[in-house]
Every structure is written in C-alpha cells, then in structure tokens.
C-alpha cells in the first residue's frame, strides 16, 4: 500500500478532522452528483458518504487492506456501490400496515464491506487479462452494443465479439475462482 494511503487511512481511523475534511471536500461533491443523478437527495448522499467512511474505518481497524487506486477513487467507488445497493433494496421493500422490513445497520455494513471486497477482487483480476480482453469486457460491461464493439475493436462480426466476450469472461471467472480470497469471500 502506498505510504500516503496508509497514512491517510490511519489518520481517518483515528478521527483526524483535517483528513476527514480533505476527503469530504475532494470526494463528497462527486458522490452528491452521482446520488442526485440516480434518484437521490443531498441527505441520501450524506448518509451514503458517512456510511462508507465508517465502513472504511471499521475495516481498517479489523484488518489492514490495500488500496490500489487513489483513496478518493476508492471512497467514490464504495459510495457508488452502496448507493446502488440501497436503490436495489428499496425496490424489494414492501410497506403496508402489516408488513414492515427492518434492516440492521451492522448487517448493512457487513454486506457493503463484503461487496467492496468482491469488487476489489474483480477489479484486480480484470487487470491480469490481456489488453484486448480488458478493453472488450470494459465495453461489454458498459453495455456498448455488439455492433459498436465490432467497429471499435475491428472484429469481423457480432458473433465473433460474443464468442470473444464469453472466452474473456471465462478467463476472468477462472482467475477469480483460483484466488484464495474467493473462497473466503464466498463463505461469508
């Protein structure tokens, strides 16, 4: 872990106000923009941002972890993932006089940390693929139509792209499943 990230994480875990303010100033506007564009309000963005910081602190205090990107990118990514999870949870909640669903904060935090660990493993293994596979899967995951991928990457037909996507996804799956962290995450 770069010393800068390690130091920032340590300061964050110790509640250093200056560090928290720096992270808030640099990342919160991006989180607010994302949440606002995706059916949220400022209060939702503040809640998500605070939960992410608490998750990072809790995770750091339990077990040191590595941040390969910038801390700002990590916090934004975790915030985006948590907001998506919140939106999906809202779709499943049934509210009427007889049915109420209560979610426990600790369960939410555990699930968010677990999802972040899965995302980190996925991202790490994606970098181990060939440049062609990385580029192809990034376009695929961005839902770029096959015909556009054919043109962009110079393939002959949609079918060739489909086969190549399948092969690249298979390689990625194999890399993930062969990592010892996969079984640890899967068991939780």
Provide the 8-state DSSP code for 1.
-
pLDDT at 99: 43
Can you list the domains of the chain with their CATH numbers?
A: 1-104 (1.10.1740.10), 128-188 (no CATH)
pLDDT digits (tens, 9 = 90+) for 76-128: 888 888 898 888 777 654 444 444 444 445 556 566 666 777 777 777 888 89
User: If you write DSSP's letter for every residue of 122-133 in order, what string do you get?
Assistant: HHHHHTTS-HHH
pLDDT at 106: 53
- Residue 92, Cα to own-chain centre: how many angstroms? 21
User: If you write DSSP's letter for every residue of 52-68 in order, what string do you get?
Assistant: HHHHHHHHHHHS-----
Q: How many CA atoms lie within 13 A of 16 on its CB side?
A: 12
- Say yes or no to pLDDT of 38 above 70: yes
pLDDT at 93: 46
Nearest CA to 126 out of 71, 5, 118 is that of: 118
Higher pLDDT, 29 or 127: 29
Look up residue 155 and give its two tokens: 């393939």
pLDDT at 6: 63
pLDDT at 20: 84
Contact 161, 149 (CB under 8 A): yes
Question: In whole numbers, what is the pLDDT of the chain averaged over residues?
Answer: 79
Ranked by mean pLDDT, which of 35-44, 54-63, 136-145 comes out on top? 35-44
Provide the 8-state DSSP code for 14.
T
Mean pLDDT over 65-86 rounds to: 81
Ranked by mean pLDDT, which of 66-70, 93-97, 184-188 comes out on top? 66-70
């Amino acid at each position: 872990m770069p010393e800068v990230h390690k130091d920032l994480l340590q300061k964050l875990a110790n509640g250093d106000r200056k560090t928290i303010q720096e992270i808030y100033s640099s990342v919160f506007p991006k989180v607010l923009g994302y949440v606002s564009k995706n059916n949220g309000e400022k209060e939702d963005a503040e809640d998500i941002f605070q939960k992410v910081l608490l998750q990072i602190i809790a995770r750091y205090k339990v077990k040191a972890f590595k941040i390969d990107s910038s801390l700002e990118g990590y916090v934004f990514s975790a915030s985006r993932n948590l907001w998506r999870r919140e939106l999906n949870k809202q779709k499943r909640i049934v509210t009427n006089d007889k049915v109420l669903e209560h979610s426990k904060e600790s369960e939410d935090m555990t699930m968010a940390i677990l999802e972040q660990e899965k995302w980190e493993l996925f991202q790490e293994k994606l970098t181990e693929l060939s440049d062609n596979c990385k580029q192809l899967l990034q376009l695929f995951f961005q839902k770029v139509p096959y015909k556009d991928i054919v043109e962009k990457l110079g393939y002959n037909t949609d079918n060739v792209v489909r086969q190549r996507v399948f092969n690249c996804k298979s390689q990625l799956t194999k890399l993930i499943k062969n990592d010892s962290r996969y079984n640890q995450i899967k068991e939780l």
